[in-house]
Structures are given as C-alpha cells and as structure tokens.
Structure 1
Amino acid sequence: MCPDSGVPAEGFPIDFYRGERIGKYEVVTQLSVGGMAELFLGFTSGPGGFRKYVVIKRVLPDARDNAQFERMFLDEARITAAFNHPNIAQVFDLGREDDGLYLAMEFIAGQNLNQITGACLRRQEQLPLGFTLSVARDVCMALHYAHTYTAPSGAPSPVIHRDVAQKNIMVTYDGVVKLLDFGIAKAKDSLERTNVGTVKGTTGYMSPEQVRGDTLDGRSDLFSVGVMMHELITGARLFAGKNERDEMMKILEAPVPWPSHVAPHVPEEVSKVVMRALERSREKRFANGRDMARAIEAAAGKLLLDAHDRAALMQDWFAERMSATRVMLESADGTTNGVMLDSAKRALRSDDGPYLPERKDIPTPSNGVAGMPRKPSRKVPAAAAPRKASAAVEGTPQPPESKASNVLWGLVLMGILVGGGYAAWHLSKVLNETVDEKDASALRTLPQHDPNLPVYLGPGSGPPTDAGNTETPAKVSGGEDAEGSRSKEAASARPVKGRGKLTLLVLPEAEVFRGKKRVGRTPMFNVAMPAGEHDLTIVGPDGKKRMLSVPISAGETTQFRLKLAEIPER
C-alpha cells in the first residue's frame, strides 16, 4: 500500500496514533517501523472537503542523535523533492518537530514486487512475462531520468539509486510502476559523502563494482535491474547465499544461467537483454537506462503489457487488499466501525511471502574475499560457439550451445533427485509442463471491461450460469465432437459482419495462432478479431498443439482464463 521501511507495527491498536499531528498532517494509522524510521498514513485537509493522503516518514528517537543517518535523511528529501517523473515516487514536504525530522511522501496504493511474486507463488501461477518486461522497461526509464537529472540551475546533477530491488519497486492498483527509496542514493554533490570502500545497498542486487567499493555510475543500477529481471523471469533468487559474504562472492564470480535455459518459454531475445545487463564489465552493459528500455521493448514486442493490462492483473491478485485500503482511507472520516478497521489492518499487514526461493544451480566461489579479482569475467566453456547477436541488442553476450544447456538440465535433475527444494520443483514443473489440478476448480476471473469474466472449468461444464454475463464460453475441441459434426478440414473461422475483441489468459503462457497466422502470446488483452467463431491453435512450452474454439461478438470483448493442461491436444 505504501513504501515500507520495516516491519508492521503490530501490538498497537489501530487508533493508537489516530488524530496525532505531524506537522500539518493528521495521522490515520502507523504503517510500519524500521530500524531508523517509522511510517504513517496521514492526510492534510482544506476548504471544500479537500483532502490529500500522504505517507509520513519520521526518524525514530533512537536515531535522532545519529548525524550520519540524519544527513542521509536530508539527502533523500533534497534529491527526490526536485524529481518530477511519473515512475518515481514523489516527496512533497520536509519538516522538523520536537519529535524529529519527517518527510511527507506520495501515497501509493499498490504492492511491491516482493508482494506481487508472493501472491503468484501462493496461487501457484507464473508471473506473466509481459508484466515483468513492462515493469523493467518503466524502471529503466525512471533510472535514466535520475542518471541524467539536471538541476533547475541547468547544472548536471546525476543521481545513482544504488538500491534497485524488488522491495523498492511498486505497481499501483492502476498499473503504474513506481521506483521508491532514494535514501542511499548518491548524488553528484551529495551532502552525505560515502567513505571509500563503504558498501551500501541490498546485497543480492549490487553490481560487481558496488561490491568492490568502486566509483559508481548509472550502469550499476542497470545491473541491479538485470538481477531483478532474471529472478522474476526464472522464479528463483540469482545471487542468494548463506550470508552477505556468500552473496558478494556469487555476484563477482558465480556463473549466471541464461533465463531461456532455465525457463524455456522465455524468448532468446529477452534472455540476451538480461544477460547484457548482467555483464560484470560495466563497459559491456547498456550505456544508459533509455537504451536498455528500448532493447526490452524490441525484444518483448507484443508481450509488453500496458498500464491497463497491469491494473487488471493487480485487481485480480489483490482484491482483498484493495478493499482494505479503501476502508482505511474512509476511516479518516471517523465513520468506519472498529471491526472493519481491525479487519482492514490484518489484511494490509499480512505476510508478504513466500518470497522467491534460492537457486540451487549456482555454486559459491571457493576463494576468499581477500582474493576477489578486480575485474572477473564470465566463464564460458571453450567449446561453446557464440550465436549471432540481433540488431536490437548488438553486443549482448551469446548463450552457450547444447553442452552448457545439458549441464543445466543435469543440475535441475540432480536437484530433483536430492530434494533440491522449491527451486528444482519449480524448474521441473516448467520443463514437464504440468499444472496443479487442485486449482482447476478455483480459477479466478480477471477484471477487465466486464467484471463478469466467463470462466471455463473443463469439457462438458457448459456455459457460466452468471446471469450478468451474456458471453458464451470458449469450446475446447479435441477432434470430432459427439455428433461428428466437425471435420479436420473445417475453416479456422466463420466470420460474420463486424469485429470484436479477445482477452485470453492461458497458464502457463502459450503461443496463439488463427489458421497459419500468429495472433500473439498469452496473456493477450483486447486483440481485435472478426466477429464469428474462431478455431485457435494453442502451442505451449512443450510444443504440442491444442485446439480452442472461441466466439467473438461484434462490438464486444470476449474474455477467457484457462489452464493449458485442460485444452485437449489437436
């Protein structure tokens, strides 16, 4: 719901801070408490019923005598207050009271990427590739703005974030991406001078130069984006270790698997973008965030989701938390009863996990920290021949051929045999293309234009009984039906006058064809098609062809959500 700097403030009744004033802001509730600061939901009022909600960050009493933290706090306010970018959370106000320094920041109704991946894991779903790519593209553009920031005086004043990670990237319920927390950002003229060799940031997402304590530029943040993309695409942590030292060693030396080798549904062009961002030599990475954003767009093509599409997914994943947020905001009027407030509090402060599991196929380098090489390079088997780079991401490192791929699959199999935990299970699930059948009866609808989205639960289930939904469900075709009315030579579509739209989700993601023409890759939103009944060919990661019949009505949007395993093979 808001930027989070710590753990929920459990143990206090929800009205413990209600009515307290911090500067000109009235507190609704405390949101969380971290090691140095606490967060509150508050608002400021004005004539005519004006009300603006904000998140207030206040320094804790124990940290008020910490001069270094106070300088960092002031740096965060000074740096980000001047920013004006749609994908960067805004800072509105800075003040000091007897209770210490405080910041008033943009209230963001949404969830961070840790919470989003946790929601998908709980539902045993893959985070849609198009969702990950579109979020990464927007983060790259936000970083490019910060890296090339020019002060009002006209003087260049670049800002390096230094802590780009899932916890600091939020997606609002309206589908807007927001980069948070420039609390340890390094501005050109920052008041807080970092000592040589000091390491700041989230360990598993640091760049190699950040681990070594070298001077940083914007390409360090782009490495962190590459880590984030790799993890969200493959469903496992990339540089997780037993402790910070292990993670730093992996960042410097551990081999990095190609995303397309771990998750076969990932296009090779997307893998090239990720691997170029993860080059240990910064000179080989993208020159700036804008270049990386353009490369993501070129590699993703029609996979990219826009804000409307992301909003539909967020509303599906977090309907309960959205309702709780509304209750919390409405409670500022003092008309909400205590039972509803307590329920909203529990919903908003519930566990955000499970988080992504540790990958089991990346060993920790054996040499000690004292022997860290200054410029380690990625180890590639001598027999591996590089593939030709595409024009979109020229200069991107190329994947090893089948030898390295066989090694990777061997590691996956070994992980399964020895009980390698969730990561190995997840990879085997992707490779064997299975879908948990226990979710078949619990398919949720995806809110789009019509909230009464039709749901197909299996052959013979018939149309939905919801009277509010007039659309006809898709028909899964496995050859001739009971009456033998459909022949193999049947036309792929029987159009009538007019055009409609199709929204189709298939889990896991799959390619969709109408006749010999490729329609796109799921999830697909609002794809224009001629009115009539269409026989679509669905090709999943296993390469098998499946047949799905969908009716398209003129001027309407037909919407379906299916499991790939439920669609019979052609």
Structure 2
Amino acid sequence: MDLYRGELIGKYEVITQLSVGGMAELFLGFTSGPGGFRKYVAIKRILPDVRSNEQFERMFLDEARITAAFNHPNIAQVYELGQEDDGLFLAMEFVAGQNLDQLTDACRRRRQPLPLGMSLAVGRDVCMALHYAHTFAGPSGRPSPVIHRDVAQKNIMVTYDGVVKLLDFGIAKARGSLERTHVGTVKGTAGYMSPEQVRGDPIDGRSDLFSLGVVLWELVTGQRLFEGKTERDEMVNILEAPIPSPRQRAGQVSEEVSAVILKALERNAGDRWQSGRDMARALEDAAGRMMFDTDRRAALMRSLFQSKMASTRALLDSADVGKAPAPSGPEPAVIVSPDVGEPESWEPSTPLPRAEDEELAAEAASLSARATALPEDDSVTRDATRGPWAIILLALVVGGGFLIWKLVPALDEQVEPEPKVPAFVDPRLRQFPESGQPIPPPVQAADAGSAAVAEPVEQTGKKEETPGKKETGKPSKRGAPVQTGLLTLVITPEASVFLDNELLGRTPIFNKAMRTGTHYLLVLGPDGQKRRLSVPIKAGKPVVLKLSLNEIPLR
C-alpha cells in the first residue's frame, strides 16, 4: 500500500509517490471540482532535511518563477507554487510518456534502431521550445531570455500521444534570476555541455543548441559522442576531441542531416546556428518527408510501451474508484521534471522489463492468484479427506503419476524437440551493443540482382518459387485456422511496401500480421526504384528486419 495515498499537498490529493531524489520528492496527484472535474498534476516538494538550504530554495523559486510564465506546447508547464507546513511545493503538468534515454533503451532491447524520422522530429520540436525560451518576453513585453543549460536526453520527453516536451528548467539562467552562479561553478550534465559552459565563460542560447547537437548526434548514431571514464574526461573531450560526421557512424544519415548536426556542434558559438528557429527550419529542409508526424510518433510509442501505458491508465483509474490498483505490472512511466541538483536520481527505481519478462510476470501473477485462492475454501479439503472420496482421490493421483512416469520417456523418444529459433538480427546492419559487448563480424552482402533474404532458409530440394508469388507451403486442411506470424520492417530512408499489388504500409511497420510462408514484397523508395525483398514468415514467430534501402536488390 502506498503510504502517501490520500495525503493532501495544498489542494491536491496524492495518488502515489513517483520519485525521491537528493533534494526533492515527486508525487502524482489530482484536484477535483464540480461535475466530475479532475485535473492530474505532478507535485514536487522539497525534502525535510534540505528545507533549511537557502541556495536550493532560491533555485526552487527560480524554477517556478521562470516556467510558470511559459506557455508553449513543447515545454512542460508549472501551474502553481504553494507553501504549507511541510514547505514549498510545485504543481506541474502531468506528462505521461518516456524520456529519450528510456526510448533508446527500449529500441536497443528490441535490437532495432530509433527511426531517423523520429529523432529528427524530436530535435525539431526541441529547437522550437528552446527558441521560445531564448526569446521569451514577459507580460510587459520586456525581453527576458531563458537559457536552459541542461539539454540532455533525460530532460526530453515523448508522451504516449507523440508530443515532445522539454523538461527541467531547474538550473536555467534568466535575467533577474534569484540564484546567481558562483565563479568557478559549472552546472549541467557532463557530456552534453557546450565548450563555453565547460570553461565557465558567459553563455547564451547557442550553448543550448550545442547541447541539442550532442543529443541529435547520439540519437542518429546510437553511440555516445563525448564518452569518458569520468566527468572530467568528458569535459576534456568536449573541448578537444574530434567530432566525426554522423554519416561516418551511421550510413543511413544523409549528408544534409549530418551538416545540420555538425553546424550545431561547432566549438565556436559564432559558427553555430544562431537561433533555435533557424536550426528547426534546417532540420525540416534536410529531413523532408522522412520526419515523423505526431501520429507516427504515437504509433511508435504504443508499439514500444504498451505495458507502461496500461500501468499508467490503471493508476489514473484507481483515483476514480478511490483505491490503489493491484500490482499486476511494472511501475507506470509518469515522468516530469527531475530533482534539481540530483539529475542522476531520476532513473526508474526498477529496470524496464522486456516484453517476454512481462508475459512471464503476468503468468506468474495469475498462477499465484489461483494458488492462494484455493486454500480459502477449506470445505473442499475437508470433504476430500473423508470417507471413500479420499481413497478414490488417492487412487487417481497414484495411477496418474504411474502413467506419466511410463509415457513421458516413450514420447521423448518419438518426438524430436523443436529447435529454438533465435531472434533475427540482420548482420549487415550496424549494431548498438551494450558497453563491453563484442560487435558481430560483418558478412558478405547478397549478390546483386538477388532478393534480400530475412534469415537463412534450409535447402529442402524443392523447386524454387517463381518470383512475385507467395510460398504458402502445403495446403491446409479444410476448416483449419490460418496460421500467421508478425513482421516488423524498418527501412531507411522510409519506403512504401506492397504485397501482391496492395499497399502493406509505409515503413517503419511494426508487428504486421501475415500468413505463414515466404512472401516477396515490392519496396518503393523515395528514389522511385522498385526493389524486391523476400520475407519468410513462420507461425507465431516475429520477424524483425532492419535494412537500408540500398541493401535491397532492384527488381
């Protein structure tokens, strides 16, 4: 049971505690009104043992004063600054989604890259959020620019509806700020700071654009840019290490996109993009139709975080019925601004589960529920141990055990176990292994003019299928259910995919149900060339294909 559930913080009733950091704690709560009105908020409250810290309290007030005046769709809002006996608190916009660290981790676990169009769309929206902050003017019209100073993957969210949100202006620098940075103090996330920020020089909005350039470089390549063993090493790398073109690390990135990112990463601020709006326009021009719209972003989020979304819905529904939800899944992904001064504490308290782990956990919970429910009806146990029923029951158990003991070895001799089929990973694609893991050796590409094949197919001696037709195997018996498998197809750049002259969809395509057998797909890319892709679908088996368009042979 949540110890904080039902507690009041100002006018807000707490549903659950979300996070605890070194300086503040975070809650999910709501306020109610007439006619069933309900507004959900995230509540940040200073921890009791730091309420006497005047510096942190000033930073807390700075965050409220700066962001309460903001009104931009890509910036998480602050609704209220309040004070009660337990100290200051902020009521902020409730953001249900995942930050970029969690998004890229989910893609890595599925062994698929984050779609390039998704990365560029996120970058474009963050550019517009930064431009709004950098050119902000108060109600009187007096310019009051705000520099974020901590643009990093952990502070950029994508909601389950596909909306990008820039979070945590807790260490932002604004004109008239109450909290002054002391000489020699560096604030920000190591590895994402601008060179002038590392040196402690005066900064402006172009410093945030450098940080966003680092984020984009890492999103499109799947690698760290200024990685080091310590924070000091990362800062030295920011000042001195060479910055390779993203295209050198990820061939699917075009020269135009690489040029936009590299200009943001110029060490001399005068050579960078001079405003977030200029950088946003450059990204749009370079991406073209490749850039994901809101619907496609939402579709990707749904495909990656179905269980998280369900947990969040259950948590919100529990507020309506006035009781906590049953612990049937992982913790909900409800994320807002992290604690000031303790950004590293805003990691999930439990690791994100893999899809198969979630299925096992659900099955285990179901079995556990059934097992614990049985002893409650002890009349069944008493009746079963009385009179002749006990003898009959004992005979059935002993006889059944004897049959199993005899039959299982015989069946094992006759039935060959089904071989385990590993999840497919195309060896021609760039892999993004965890730190310390070996990179699989490359293999030779398919010969020109042949069909690209999803995975090795055993030689059976059967006559080769005629191109353009589907291999359906032996005809199924009359009335037998049609067997299907799932296809996930990621092609860069994006392409239209046809099956038997019917549009299957536009990549990326996630978990598309298809009949079993080998299908020959027609792939039509932005260059207008027709290509042929062979995809074998097995019953109940997911097939994941991640390809560059130029790897698929022309038809």
TM-score, normalising length: structure 1: 0.66
Q: 1:236 is matched with which residue: 223, 231, 250?
A: 223
**How far apart are residue 164 of structure 1 and its match?**
0.3
Amino acid at match of 1:546: R
Partner of 1:189: 176
**How far apart are residue 347 of structure 1 and its match?**
7.7
Partner of 2:109: 122
The separation in 2 between residues aligned to 1:78 and 1:430, in whole angstroms, is 57
Cα RMSD of the aligned pairs, angstroms, is: 4.0
**How far apart are residue 237 of structure 1 and its match?**
1.1
Map 1:369-388 → 2, pairs under 5 A: none
Pair 1:85 & 2:72 matched: yes
Secondary structure of the residue aligned to 2:439 is helix
Post-superposition Cα deviations, 1:275-297, rounded to whole Å, max 9, x if no partner, equal 00000001000010000000000
Please tell me whether the aligned partners of residues 327 and 341 of structure 1 are also in contact (alpha carbons under 8 angstroms). no
Secondary structure of the residue aligned to 1:199 is coil
Please tell me whether the aligned partners of residues 120 and 287 of structure 2 are also in contact (alpha carbons under 8 angstroms). yes
Secondary structure of the residue aligned to 1:189 is coil
Secondary structure of the residue aligned to 1:195 is coil
Structure 1 residues 257 and 97, CA gap change in structure 2 (3 angstroms): same
Map 1:140-539 → 2, pairs under 5 A: 140-334=127-321, 336=323, 340-341=326-327, 343-345=329-331, 350-352=350-352, 421-422=436-437, 425=439, 460=472, 506-510=489-493, 512=495, 522-523=507-508, 536-537=522-523
Please tell me whether the aligned partners of residues 320 and 347 of structure 1 are also in contact (alpha carbons under 8 angstroms). no
The separation in 1 between residues aligned to 2:216 and 2:473, in whole angstroms, is 38
Secondary structure of the residue aligned to 1:55 is strand
Partner of 1:546: 532
Structure 1 residues 341 and 70, CA gap change in structure 2 (3 angstroms): same
Larger Cα Rg: Structure 1 or Structure 2?
Answer: 2
Please tell me whether the aligned partners of residues 307 and 329 of structure 2 are also in contact (alpha carbons under 8 angstroms). no
The separation in 1 between residues aligned to 2:97 and 2:435, in whole angstroms, is 34
Please tell me whether the aligned partners of residues 538 and 548 of structure 1 are also in contact (alpha carbons under 8 angstroms). no
Partner of 1:368: none
Post-superposition Cα deviations, 1:203-256, rounded to whole Å, max 9, x if no partner, equal 110000000001110000000100000101110111121111100000000011
The separation in 1 between residues aligned to 2:331 and 2:196, in whole angstroms, is 41
Pair 1:35 & 2:49 matched: no
The separation in 2 between residues aligned to 1:505 and 1:569, in whole angstroms, is 21
Structure 1 residues 26 and 166, CA gap change in structure 2 (3 angstroms): same
Please tell me whether the aligned partners of residues 94 and 104 of structure 1 are also in contact (alpha carbons under 8 angstroms). yes
Structure 1 residues 567 and 283, CA gap change in structure 2 (3 angstroms): closer
Partner of 1:52: 39
The separation in 2 between residues aligned to 1:431 and 1:182, in whole angstroms, is 49
The separation in 1 between residues aligned to 2:316 and 2:435, in whole angstroms, is 44
Unaligned runs of at least 5 residues, structure 2: 335-347, 355-429, 447-451, 457-469, 499-503, 511-519, 536-541
Amino acid at match of 1:523: P
Structure 1 residues 87 and 315, CA gap change in structure 2 (3 angstroms): same
The separation in 1 between residues aligned to 2:58 and 2:287, in whole angstroms, is 41
Post-superposition Cα deviations, 1:134-184, rounded to whole Å, max 9, x if no partner, equal 000000000000000001011100000000001000001100000000000
The separation in 2 between residues aligned to 1:335 and 1:127, in whole angstroms, is 39
User: How many percent of aligned residue pairs carry the same amino acid?
Assistant: 62
Structure 1 residues 514 and 72, CA gap change in structure 2 (3 angstroms): closer
The separation in 2 between residues aligned to 1:150 and 1:435, in whole angstroms, is 57
Partner of 1:357: none
Secondary structure of the residue aligned to 2:329 is helix
Please tell me whether the aligned partners of residues 330 and 353 of structure 2 are also in contact (alpha carbons under 8 angstroms). no
Amino acid at match of 2:439: W
Amino acid at match of 1:111: Q
Secondary structure of the residue aligned to 2:217 is helix
The separation in 2 between residues aligned to 1:141 and 1:524, in whole angstroms, is 28
Q: How many residues align?
A: 418
Amino acid at match of 2:351: D
Post-superposition Cα deviations, 1:34-59, rounded to whole Å, max 9, x if no partner, equal 11000000000111111100000000
Please tell me whether the aligned partners of residues 315 and 324 of structure 2 are also in contact (alpha carbons under 8 angstroms). no
Structure 1 residues 328 and 312, CA gap change in structure 2 (3 angstroms): same
The separation in 1 between residues aligned to 2:52 and 2:471, in whole angstroms, is 67
Secondary structure of the residue aligned to 1:221 is helix
**How far apart are residue 128 of structure 1 and its match?**
0.1
Q: 1:74 is matched with which residue: 54, 58, 61?
A: 61
Please tell me whether the aligned partners of residues 537 and 548 of structure 1 are also in contact (alpha carbons under 8 angstroms). no
Unaligned runs of at least 5 residues, structure 1: 1-12, 355-414, 439-457, 475-503, 526-533, 550-559
**How far apart are residue 506 of structure 1 and its match?**
2.7
Amino acid at match of 2:303: D
Q: Is the deviation greater in 506-515 or in 125-134?
A: 506-515
Secondary structure of the residue aligned to 1:265 is coil
**How far apart are residue 345 of structure 1 and its match?**
3.3
Amino acid at match of 2:489: V
The separation in 1 between residues aligned to 2:455 and 2:129, in whole angstroms, is 40
Partner of 1:407: none
Please tell me whether the aligned partners of residues 149 and 158 of structure 1 are also in contact (alpha carbons under 8 angstroms). yes
Please tell me whether the aligned partners of residues 99 and 156 of structure 2 are also in contact (alpha carbons under 8 angstroms). yes
Secondary structure of the residue aligned to 1:343 is coil
